């Protein structure tokens, strides 16, 4: 820990009075600054991230007189941080022997903080000890959210109440609401904080994707957003098949897209690891007794499959196709085949 190199006794004169005293011959010593001193100390027990008051550092001679007319820059830092940070204006030029710091604050609560003042060529100075207390509720913060699955309850989501310095407030009872700007959130979305945090243990999302996130809001505090997290689709329970515009006898119906999805309309990302899905396509409504040709059975390892080169050999009105895969089935729209 840094210590004061010289004992500092604050002279009971104002900086404004110095020119008058000099003119009256108040001191005959040369105007040589040797060390720094705190003319105005940090406020005691300031709340975290709130102002420590105006702090002033002066240039002093060997006889503890404020020395004017000397150019210098004073830098401030915490003597021992313990993870805390001194914020605000940390460097100031000397004017008439005084460097003024009007907006200092420490972001973490703690006891016995000290500020050290340094300037090139001068002995440093250390402030008197001061405490920093917890501030009032000012912001929210999510604990990390890892994953979710569509339609299932998320792992418990925790939102903490913090002061302006980011210190956790274990006595806060703030009422907090969580939500999403792009999808519905099921479950209990408003809870009062208990011991400084609200735990949402029954939230449900139904829209899959890798860029899901939640927000948290409460009266008179800054809102918060969670990290991005994955929502996986639910179990594959249905098939979907693309629209068919129709066609001509002996001509391909084009690309027919088939996808496996959950009950919320999410496309399944893939079949179970190590597994596969068998896709078959056949005539459903068949007004002309036609025959379907082309590759009508396939095995896929992904959530989707595309049937190409499917051909119907007779004209007719109101055909449909039926697609099946691992116990799931879907029927196309009605379409016509021209000669």
Q: How confident is the model at residue 24 (pLDDT cuts 50, 70, 90)?
A: very low
**Do 24 and 84 belong together in one domain?**
yes
- Could you tell me if 22 and 122 lie in one domain? yes
Residue 29 has pLDDT above 80, yes or no: no
* pLDDT tops 90 at residue 277: no
Predicted confidence (pLDDT) at residue 188 exceeds the cutoff of 50: yes
Distance, in Å, from the CA atom of 170 to the CA atom of 162, rounded to the nearest integer, reads 9
Tell me, yes or no, whether 163 lies in a domain.
yes
pLDDT band at 268 (very low <50, low <70, confident <90, very high): confident
Please check whether residue 10 lies inside any domain of the structure. no
Quick one: 156 and 251 in the same domain? Answer: no
The pLDDT, as a whole number, for residue 300 is 77
Q: Is residue 3 part of a domain?
A: no
Of 210, 232, 254, which residue constitutes the final position of a domain? Answer: 232
pLDDT tens per residue, range 109-142: 999 999 999 999 999 999 999 999 999 999 999 9
- 189-220 pLDDT tens trace: 999 999 999 999 999 999 988 889 999 999 99
Q: How confident is the model at residue 62 (pLDDT cuts 50, 70, 90)?
A: very high
The closest of 82, 79, 78, 87 to 107, measured between CA atoms, is: 87
Give a yes or no: residue 9 inside a domain.
Answer: no
| Domain match, 78 and 147 both | no
∠ CA 201-203-208 to the nearest 5 degrees? 135
pLDDT band at 271 (very low <50, low <70, confident <90, very high): low
Residues 141-179: tens digit of each pLDDT: 999 998 889 999 999 999 999 999 999 999 999 999 999
Among the listed residues 279, 269, 288, the one whose alpha carbon sits nearest the alpha carbon of residue 322: 279
Is pTM beyond 0.85? Reply is no
Position 1 in a domain:
no
Distance (Å, whole) CA 124 – CA 118: 5
Same domain, 37 and 126: yes
Per-residue confidence at 15, pLDDT binned at 50, 70, 90?
very low
Do 123 and 188 share a structural domain?
Answer: no
Query: What pLDDT shows up at residue 274?
Result: 58
Judgement on whether residues 316 and 257 belong to the same structural domain of the protein:
yes
- Supply φ then ψ for residue 107, to 5 degrees: -85, -10
Residues 112 and 177 both lie in one domain: no
Distances (CA, A) of 20 to 23, 26, 29: 5, 9, 16
- For residue 118, give its domain range: 15-133
- The residue among 73, 99, 133 that closes a domain is 133
Q: Are residues 242 and 224 in the same domain?
A: no
- Same structural domain for residues 45 and 84? yes
Of 322, 330, 270, 338, which is closest to residue 301 (Cα–Cα)?
Answer: 270
Last residue of a domain, one of 232, 266, 285: 232
The total number of structural domains that make up the chain: 3
Q: What is the pLDDT of residue 89?
A: 96
Query: Does the pLDDT value for residue 1 go beyond 90?
Result: no
82 in a domain, yes or no? Answer: yes
Same domain assignment for residues 220 and 162: yes
pLDDT of residue 31: 74
228, 251, 286 from 289: Cα distances, Å? 54, 17, 6
CATH number at residue 297: 2.60.40.10
Say whether both 257 and 296 belong to one domain.
yes
Average pLDDT (59-80) is 94
- Residue 2 placed within a domain: no
In a domain, 261, yes or no: yes
């Amino acid at each position: 820990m840094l210590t004061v190199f010289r004992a500092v006794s604050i002279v009971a004169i104002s900086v404004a009075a110095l020119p008058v005293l000099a003119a009256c011959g108040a001191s005959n010593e040369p105007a040589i600054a040797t060390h720094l001193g705190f003319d105005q100390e940090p406020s005691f027990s300031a709340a975290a991230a709130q102002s420590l008051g105006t702090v002033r550092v002066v240039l002093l001679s060997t006889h503890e007189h404020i020395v004017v007319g000397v150019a210098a820059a004073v830098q401030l830092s915490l003597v021992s941080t313990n993870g805390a940070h001194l914020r605000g204006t940390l460097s100031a030029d000397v004017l008439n022997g005084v460097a003024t710091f009007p907006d200092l604050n420490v972001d973490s609560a703690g006891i016995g903080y000290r500020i050290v003042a340094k300037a090139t060529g001068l002995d440093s100075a250390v402030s008197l000890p001061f405490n920093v207390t917890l501030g009032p509720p000012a912001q929210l913060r999510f604990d990390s959210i890892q994953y979710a699955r569509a339609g299932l309850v998320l792992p418990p989501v925790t939102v903490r109440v913090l002061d302006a310095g980011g210190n956790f407030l274990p006595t806060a009872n703030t009422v907090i609401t969580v939500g999403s700007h792009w999808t519905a959130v099921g479950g209990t979305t408003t809870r009062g904080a208990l011991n400084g945090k609200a735990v949402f243990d029954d939230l449900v999302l139904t829209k899959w994707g890798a860029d899901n996130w939640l927000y948290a809001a409460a009266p008179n505090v800054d809102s918060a957003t969670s990290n991005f997290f994955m929502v996986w689709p639910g179990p594959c329970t249905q098939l979907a098949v693309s629209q068919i515009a129709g066609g001509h006898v002996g001509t391909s119906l084009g690309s027919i897209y088939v996808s496996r999805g959950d009950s919320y309309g999410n496309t399944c990302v893939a079949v179970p690891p190590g597994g596969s899905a068998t896709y078959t396509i056949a005539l459903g409504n068949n007004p002309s007794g036609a025959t379907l040709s082309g590759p009508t059975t396939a095995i896929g390892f992904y959530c989707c499959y595309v049937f190409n080169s499917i051909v119907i050999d007779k004209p007719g009105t109101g055909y449909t196709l039926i697609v099946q895969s691992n116990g799931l089935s879907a029927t196309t729209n009605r379409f016509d085949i021209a000669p």
